[in-house]
Amino acid sequence: MDGTTPDAQMAPHVAAAGPHAGIGFREFVALTAALMALVGLSIDTMLPALPAIGSSLGEPDGDRQQLIVTVLLLGLGLGQIAYGPISDRVGRRPVLIGSAGAYVLFSIGASLAPSFDALLAFRLLQGLSIAATRVVAVSMVRDCYSGRQMARVMSLSFMVFLAVPVLAPSIGQVIMLVFPWRGLFGSIAGFGVIVLVWLVLRVPETLHPEYRRPIDARSIGAAMARALTTRQALGYMLVQMIIQGALYGFLNSVQLIFADGFHLPKWMPTVFAVIAGGMAAASLLNSRIVERLGTRRVSHSALLGFIAIELLHAVIVLAGAESVWSFVACQVLAMFCFGLSMSNFGAMAMEPLASIAGTAASVQGVVVTTGGALIGLFIGQRFDGTTMPVTLGFAGAGIIGLVIILITEGGRLFKPRMGA
């Protein structure tokens, strides 16, 4: 696997291009965040409603109710494989507009689902449709920026995106005070309409004409092979998958942790907001320091902190000293480290692949989301009434991620491997 590609030399040209005419830096960041927020809204507003949805549709099993989250994540992961190659050919704009329209229709369908299985089917379709937002948003960022500047844009987008998990569970509870759970799907359909109108009225085409690629098996296969064999891209993609899987395990378990573990179900939205706030604060900090310190120095240091915090948390749980306060404190610190690392990992994974940004984003999206969803389901299914499965999931993910980085960087931390 090589660590360098011709795109490394093209990066200054791409960065200089910036967003194409018609949209400024702040709106570009806000739009990217809004596209990513569709995923967060589709997941996090549902968390307080899982028991009510299960009860209404005749599915009282808490483990089965987790499928409302997992099925969407699987659709999100699997759907991404097609959107990148298509957007590399026809452009980013038409793919985004079509997928946003489909998302609105499937959200309305979910609000009308007559059974639990029908709801899962619409959740899968929701995931398949919004898969484009993750792929094409990342592709757009890579179209317009490179290096540390790209990491800054992704960090700012990530920060705005994280406002969604901070607020979404509380929003979900407020909506359910007025409407039954079906109103949640109507609400996210409404947000989808807003994003769709924004796309139609404001979004330019960002794909550089020289990077348009034909849709044929050989070309797509070559691009996918390159995305999977470029050392830096592969390594940081796998790190994202492992760490994201731990986060999905947390999302699958958090309602049960507060309901059955701490017997404080009403605390969940507030505590979830505090924990997600740690990620948002870290993303803001990262956007201010990453261009000065570099993606490796920031993300590698954050990962070491993440591991140390979760190992300490595991000791607390094993000692029988876990409380809601220790859980919240450790998770806030861990998520702070998460926020300092993940957008940088994503930027480094995409950095060598500018000329195949759409296909590369598809490959990375499928691996990170699908692999992460399966890891998260495994962690969530291990729930035993305590916080130990989630804690060990985070600690194990951090350690495995560190090993992958050391292999990727030739045993080095904080700097690129020798010769890269």
Between 179 and 123, where is the model more confident?
A: 123
pLDDT at 12 (0 to 100): 36
Could you give the CA distance from residue 242 to residue 246 in angstroms, rounded to a whole number? 7
The 10s digit of each residue's pLDDT in 25-65 is 777 777 877 887 788 788 777 777 888 888 888 877 766 77
Nearest Cα neighbor of 36 from 125, 183, 141 is: 141
Evaluate whether residue 420 is within a structural domain. no
Structural domain range at position 179: 6-408
pTM of the model: 0.66
Q: Mean per-residue pLDDT for 234-262?
A: 83
Residue type, 379: I
What is the CATH classification number for the domain harbouring 79?
Answer: 1.20.1250.20
Which tokens hold the place of 342? Answer: 């993940």
The 10s digit of each residue's pLDDT in 281-330 is 787 787 778 778 888 888 899 999 999 999 999 999 888 888 888 888 88
Which tokens hold the place of 355? Answer: 């000329």
* C-alpha distances out from residue 378 to 59, 78, 165, 254, 382, Å: 20, 18, 22, 14, 7
Could you give the CA distance from residue 278 to residue 272 in angstroms, rounded to a whole number? 10
pLDDT at 5 (0 to 100): 42
Residue type, 25: F
Evaluate whether residue 213 is within a structural domain. yes
Residue 348: band (very low, low, confident or very high) from pLDDT cuts 50, 70, 90: confident
Evaluate whether residue 418 is within a structural domain. no
Evaluate whether residue 417 is within a structural domain. no
Residue 355 has pLDDT above 60, yes or no: yes
Evaluate whether residue 415 is within a structural domain. no
The number of distinct structural domains making up the chain is 1
Question: What single-letter DSSP state applies at residue 181?
Answer: T
Evaluate whether residue 419 is within a structural domain. no
Look at the block and give the residue holding tokens 């079906």: 182
Evaluate whether residue 376 is within a structural domain. yes
At 252, is the secondary structure helix, strand, or coil? helix
Evaluate whether residue 123 is within a structural domain. yes
Residue type, 386: T
Could you give the CA distance from residue 304 to residue 132 in angstroms, rounded to a whole number? 32
Query: For 204, left (φ over 0), alpha (ψ -120 to 50), or beta?
Result: beta
Q: How far apart are the first and last CA of the chain?
A: 11
Number of neighbours of residue 171 by Cβ within 10 angstroms: 19
The burial class, CB within 10 Å (0-12 / 13-18 / 19+), for 394 is buried
Could you give the CA distance from residue 160 to residue 154 in angstroms, rounded to a whole number? 10
Could you give the CA distance from residue 240 to residue 238 in angstroms, rounded to a whole number? 5
3-state secondary structure 73-140: HHHHHHHHHHHHHHHHHHCHHHHHHHHHHHHHHHHHHHHCCCCHHHHHHHHHHHHHHHHHHHHHHHHH
At 265, is the secondary structure helix, strand, or coil? helix
